[in-house]
Amino acid sequence: MTSWRIWKNRNLYIFQGSSWNIDEIIKVFFNGSVRIDDGFAAAGGFVCDHNGEWIFGFNRYLGMCTVVDAELWGILDGLKLTL
C-alpha cells in the first residue's frame, strides 16, 4: 500500500503538476524493544505533524519475540494507523 501511494503521488506530480502541501506531511516514529533477560517485547511509536507537534501515540505488548520482530511490529502498526 505504501509503495502504491508513493508511486501514485509521483505520477500526480509528473503528469498533473500536483504537489503536496506542507500541511499534509506527517512524520511517523516507531520502535521495538526486547528485554534481554526474559525476551518480553513491546513496540510503539508516535505521529507528529509538519511542525513536530504530537498528534497521537501507539504501543503494543508483544510477549516473547526477537528484536527484529518487535521493530517490524512497530513499523506495521505505525503504517496501518497513518494510512
**Could you tell me the residue ranges of all domains in the chain?**
23-82
Side chain identity at 16, as an amino acid letter?
Q
Side chain identity at 71, as an amino acid letter?
E
Reported as a single tens digit per residue, the pLDDT across 33-52 is 999 888 899 999 999 988 88
**Cβ distance 45 to 29 under 8 Å?**
yes
Q: What is the rounded average pLDDT of the residues 9-21? A: 80
CATH topology of domain 23-82: Nucleotidyltransferase; domain 5 (3.30.420)
**Per-residue pLDDT at 53:** 92
Q: What is the rounded average pLDDT of the residues 21-40? A: 85
**Cβ distance 34 to 15 under 8 Å?**
no
Give the global pTM: 0.68
pLDDT for residue 55 is more than 80: yes
**Cβ distance 74 to 43 under 8 Å?**
yes
